[in-house]
Amino acid sequence: MSYRPLGSEVTDPLIRSKIAALSLNGSLLTNDAVAKFQKTIKYPEYLGAFESEEEGKYNNFKNVDGAKNDKGHLGDKSFKHLFPEGTKYSTEDLSPNFGTEITGIQLSELDEAGKNDLALYLETRGLAIFRDQDFRDKGPAFAKQFGEHFGPLHIHPVSFSADKHPELLVTFRPPGDETRYEKGFAGKTGAFAWHSDISFEEYPASFSFFVALEAPKSGGDTVFIDLREAYRRLSPTLQKFFEGLTVIHTNYYQNQLASLNGNTARVKGDYFTEHPLVRTHPVTGEKSLYFSRAFIHSIKGVKAEESSFILNFLEQHVTSNPEIQVRAQHKGTDARTVIAWDNRLAVHTAIADFLQHATGPRHHFRITVLGEKPYLEEENKEEEVAVNGHSNGHSNGHSNGHSNGQAQNGALNGN
């Protein structure tokens, strides 16, 4: 079976006409509708229209020294600055190896050392869900400054952003009722799109911080996959084979869809970027599959049939195993949730499971930090990383005694 890049159907004239119709009937957010929704949503400062003067304004997102400057190198392996002594907090693991829910820690109050520990924590646990945060109330300028601690921030070519703050990507689904269901699934059985953020960039994302502004009380969650475990599950023979492959990532089809919606392209051009299929983490030294399904076009240097064979296997292997997946629940507007993850070792997708019900808007913003150019390190280099204490000393991100979700310093037992 031929592999089809996600979104490639947008090049079909019939599909294009259907998408254009959705924009006209209000099923998709358009630039013209932004002003209307700004009058009704709780956080209008986090929804801005595309400005014509922004067209082609932002280019050349680079982070040449990203691997060397990763803040995880400065983190303490006991995470004592993220979880200060005497603080009442709780941690509850989503799975033994991947993902943790945290209460009692306020991200907006972290000092420099605390943010460095957060970087290392995300690099070991992969994913962290923070509850009861005041982050969204600090304003867009604060969010930008917070993100810049971890590295340069990305400006998305065609996605909506916060008003006057293009570094803050916005996802917004208007309020609606059960009639959305038939429209949403008229031509498909699922709306999910597994991806690592901006993998089409030469320097794709390291960390992402996804901040809930308004969300349904149930549904609309985000599901994550641990790409380290996806790599580990392979036989040594297949691991070695995949380590020799290069994958081409593209934003071409995303740009095509945006053009149908009338969105201004802040960054001109369609990228076809080459990344290794297996990458090394610059801090932990761990290997992971870099399989960003939504942006992968093909395997470099092989025939089309061979590329399809490999990519179809990878899709089944990575996305069909519930043993390496966890669900990050947003739990509604009042949960004040912030979800943070490391894109170098995880892919994720939004879940459209609430369209049969009447809900208010689903409104979030994302801070996207540029990481290093993906690379695969030779074995002897990887051993050096481990000796330096940035690999084996952080087993499952629980070297500080958080095993099984038990928090120290008199904290709650994950309740």
pLDDT digits (tens, 9 = 90+) for 148-200: 999 999 999 999 999 999 999 999 999 999 999 988 888 788 989 999 999 99
Pairwise pLDDT comparison (415 vs 197), residue with the higher score: 197
For the chain, give the longest Cα–Cα distance: 62
Residues in a beta bridge with 207: 342
Q: Give the type of residue at 36.
A: K
Assign 131 a pLDDT band (cuts: 50, 70, 90).
Answer: very high
Amino acid sitting at position 109? E
- Residues 157 and 257 sit within 8 Å (Cβ to Cβ): no
Structure tokens at 246: 């290069």
- pLDDT(313) > 80: yes
pLDDT above 90 covers a percentage of the chain that reads 74
Residue 404: pLDDT band by 50, 70, 90 thresholds?
very low
Beta partners for residue 212, in sequence order = 364
Give bridge partners of residue 205 from the DSSP assignment. Answer: 370
Residues 236-262 have a mean pLDDT of 93
Mean pLDDT, residues 129-149 taken together: 98
pLDDT at 58: 86
8 A C-beta contact, residue 408 and residue 194: no
Residue 167 · residue 133 · CB < 8 Å = no
Ranges assigned E (strand) in 143-283: 161-162, 165-173, 205-214, 222-226, 246-250, 272-276, 278-280
The Cα–Cα gap between 97 and 402 comes to 12
Domains and their CATH numbers in the chain: 8-48+55-400 (3.60.130.10)
CA dist 43 and 136 (Å) reads 9
Which has the higher per-residue pLDDT, 55 or 343? Answer: 343
What is the predicted pLDDT for the residue at 207? 98
Rounded CA gap, 161 and 45, in Å? Answer: 10
- Res. 399: pLDDT tops 70: no
Output the CA–CA distances (angstroms, integers) from residue 125 to 167, 355, 401, 407, in the order listed: 26, 31, 14, 15
Residues 307, 29: Cα–Cα separation, whole Å: 35
* Confidence at 84, pLDDT banded by 50, 70, 90: very high
pLDDT at position 44, please?
Answer: 97
> Using 50, 70 and 90 to split pLDDT, how confident is the model at 289?
very high
Q: Average pLDDT, stretch 358-384?
A: 86
Q: Is the pLDDT of residue 391 over 50?
A: no
Mean of pLDDT over the chain: 89
The percentage of residues in the chain with a pLDDT greater than 70, rounded to a whole number, is: 88
Tell me the average pLDDT across 18-32: 65
Report residue 122 as tokens: 């995300």
Section 294-319 average pLDDT:
98
Please give the radius of gyration of the chain, using alpha carbons only, rounded to the nearest integer: 21
Q: Reply yes or no on whether the pLDDT at 387 is more than 90.
A: no
pLDDT of residue 12: 82
340: number of CA atoms within 13 Å, CB side? 26
Whether 346 contacts 210, CB under 8 Å: no
Question: Which residue type, as a one-letter code, is found at position 139?
Answer: G
**Residues 412, 415: Cα–Cα separation, whole Å:** 6
Q: How far is C-alpha 72 from the geometric centre of its chain's CA atoms?
A: 18
